[in-house]
Structure 1
Amino acid sequence: MISAEKHASASTIGLAVMPVVFVALWSTGFIGAKFGLPYAEPFTFLFIRFVLTLALLLPLVMLMRIEWPRGIRLWAHIGVTGLLVHGTYLGGVFYGIYLGMPAGLTALLVGLQPLLTAACAGPLLGERLTPRQWLGLALGLAGISLVLGSKLELGESLFQGFGLGALLCVVAALGGISLGTLYQKRFCTSMPLLSGAAIQYMSAGVLLGAGALLFETRQVAWTPTFVLTLGWLVLVLSIAAILLLMALIKRGEASRVASLFYLVPPVTALQAWWLFDERLPLLGLVGMVVAIVGVVLVIHKGTARS
């Protein structure tokens, strides 16, 4: 009896911790980009990551006997989401960091994805925004304006350290993840998570491989730092995080993951401060808090309706 109670208690604690672990792991993707990009160009880096991920993921799909999506049309829709969610999003994030944008600021900008998704959901999916969501959108925009405005210190340019090109890359990443989320919600609701992720990695790998072939030298410095970073991104983010998400969805905890995603920017900023001494002025920290509150307002309302 006592043993059963202890097992139930441990299971409950584990279930409560799993979403937090998932978000903590997810936030390290920006740090991984920062660590690995000195040794490989962005498209080349991501192409290698996806090839290695597929080399592990495809046998896993077979061993777990997970069904593949049925029908060419669904395969095509999943491929499109891969181009947007992995190809455009990760390509934009990695290139933005490669061009000098701080990892913490990058995480904050793409962390506005729920705001942009909510704004686009009306015309694309017929969903209406509530006053609470409009307030969230306004706070998100105000917050990011404060963060960018905090860079306007004495003698410092708005794009000091990274330039307009890096900002455009991250904005493209934000657009890719937002549009990809809406597209997946509209056309891929019946997608098996693990096999669907494999298809998405395939399509994104083709896109990024073409980018590496056309625009990069494809030279890689196989240093211990790069190998360890690549191993972390493949094993922990692309494989373990997906399996963890599958477990959460199976247990009905996906909504808790969605509500905790607003923690990714501050967690990333804390990691970037500790590892790379990336700092935000007080006004920038206030802006981050304001933007996160805006995201929370939008996410919580959307979660309640789902």
Structure 2
Amino acid sequence: MTALVAAAGLVVMWSSGFVGARLGTAEAPADTLLAWRYLAAAAILVAIVVVRRPRWRRADLPRQALLGLLCQCLYLAGVVTGVGLGVPAGVAALIAVLQPLVVGALAGPVLGERVRPRQWLGLAAGVGGVGLVVAGDAAVGGPPLGYALVAGGMLALSAGTLLERRWRLATPLLDSLTIHCLVSAAVFVASAALAGRLAPPAGAGFWWAVAWVVVLSTFGGYGCYLLALRIFGATGASTLLYLTPPTTMLWALSMFGERIGWLGVVGLVACAGSVWLVLSANGRLRWTRGRWRSSSTRRVEPAFPSSRSPTPTPRSAPTRVT
């Protein structure tokens, strides 16, 4: 059940970030939105940490900080800045979801995970499905720098994904997210301040967008991503991101009235099929007795560890996908 909640939550919450970016950048520059997003998120998480007073392993802090820099700072900076320079959102989404192919290609030598032929078929089908979803944007141009930034953001998220699985840190989910948000807040606040764009606009629309991306995208999206990494592994969690462009399309339909063409519907089906191929091939999800069930037996670190067990329990050796 945890696996299904993590998968569904990742797809829905990660997709909400594209909607929040549209809402926020209509009110203020991207770096202003990102700075206040992470200031708010970090303030909430630090308040929780002060109350909980967890015991963090000092050796894990630099690694968690690097993961936050890669998976949140550099990924978002690359994608959002690239879109701001003129890269169509659909094309940016297509470049971003090349990440599962990068992770799949490197999962063997870096993590020891075997990617089976059926999974490669699913990864390739996912790229094709996303291509159909964003086909309407493909003919629109954009500056080379913008495309390079989006690709760089995708590679940063891929690197963070692989490092998280290789290190297998015992830091609870909530504490990991706190460290990541603190690092992101420091980077984005400094960037916006140096550019003279830190001051927020006075309109309520900006703060509504900030609330949206803090609750849904940061806490929901990245929280579910970290959880999905621990349940499905690097290849499985990355593959779920194939469902984010079509899900974003559904968000846009409900909130902005953007119609879905037949290519989008076909692409949505192809994306769903690709995710099923990858996850069912490694036994993570199976259709049994009329419902989806998870066959994963891996232990997931709780968000709030027991006060009677202050020392993190060492993780077992990485699971080889067969």
Deviation string for 1:162-220 (max 9, x for gaps)? Answer: 55444433322221211111111112421221122111112222332343344564453
Asked whether the equivalents of residues 65 and 183 of structure 2 are also in contact (C-alpha less than 8 Å), the reply is: yes
CA distance in 2, matches of 1:245, 1:148: 23
The one-letter amino acid paired with 1:159 is V
CA distance in 2, matches of 1:82, 1:184: 10
CA distance in 2, matches of 1:42, 1:124: 34
CA distance in 1, matches of 2:90, 2:267: 13
Of 19, 43, 52 in structure 2, the residue corresponding to residue 55 of structure 1 is 43
The verdict on how the C-alpha distance between 1:102 and 1:159 changes in structure 2, with shifts beyond 3 A counting, is closer
**2:138 is aligned with 1:138:** no
The one-letter amino acid paired with 2:159 is L
CA distance in 2, matches of 1:188, 1:65: 23
CA distance in 2, matches of 1:148, 1:240: 25
CA distance in 1, matches of 2:280, 2:146: 31
Partner of 1:290: 270
Q: How does 1:7-156 map to 2 (within 5 A)?
A: 20=8, 23-68=11-56, 70-71=57-58, 73-101=59-87, 103=89, 106-107=92-93, 109-146=95-132, 150-151=136-137
Percent of paired sites with the same residue: 34
CA distance in 1, matches of 2:204, 2:189: 23
Asked whether the equivalents of residues 143 and 291 of structure 1 are also in contact (C-alpha less than 8 Å), the reply is: yes
* RMSD after superposition: 3.6
The alignment partner of 1:67 has SS state of coil
The one-letter amino acid paired with 2:202 is W
The alignment partner of 2:201 has SS state of coil
Report how far residue 104 of structure 1 moved.
5.5
CA distance in 2, matches of 1:29, 1:40: 16
Q: Which runs of 5+ in 2 are unaligned?
A: 285-320
The one-letter amino acid paired with 2:33 is F
Report how far residue 105 of structure 1 moved.
5.4
Report how far residue 117 of structure 1 moved.
1.3
Asked whether the equivalents of residues 78 and 199 of structure 1 are also in contact (C-alpha less than 8 Å), the reply is: yes
CA distance in 2, matches of 1:146, 1:243: 29
Report how far residue 120 of structure 1 moved.
1.8
Q: How does 1:91-240 map to 2 (within 5 A)?
A: 91-101=77-87, 103=89, 106-107=92-93, 109-146=95-132, 150-151=136-137, 158-160=139-141, 163-215=143-195, 217-239=197-219
CA distance in 1, matches of 2:111, 2:232: 20
The one-letter amino acid paired with 1:235 is V
More helix, by proportion: 1
How many residue pairs are counted as aligned between the two chains?
Answer: 282
Asked whether the equivalents of residues 25 and 33 of structure 2 are also in contact (C-alpha less than 8 Å), the reply is: yes
Asked whether the equivalents of residues 22 and 245 of structure 1 are also in contact (C-alpha less than 8 Å), the reply is: yes
The verdict on how the C-alpha distance between 1:83 and 1:262 changes in structure 2, with shifts beyond 3 A counting, is same
The one-letter amino acid paired with 2:69 is L
The verdict on how the C-alpha distance between 1:133 and 1:64 changes in structure 2, with shifts beyond 3 A counting, is same
The verdict on how the C-alpha distance between 1:302 and 1:118 changes in structure 2, with shifts beyond 3 A counting, is farther
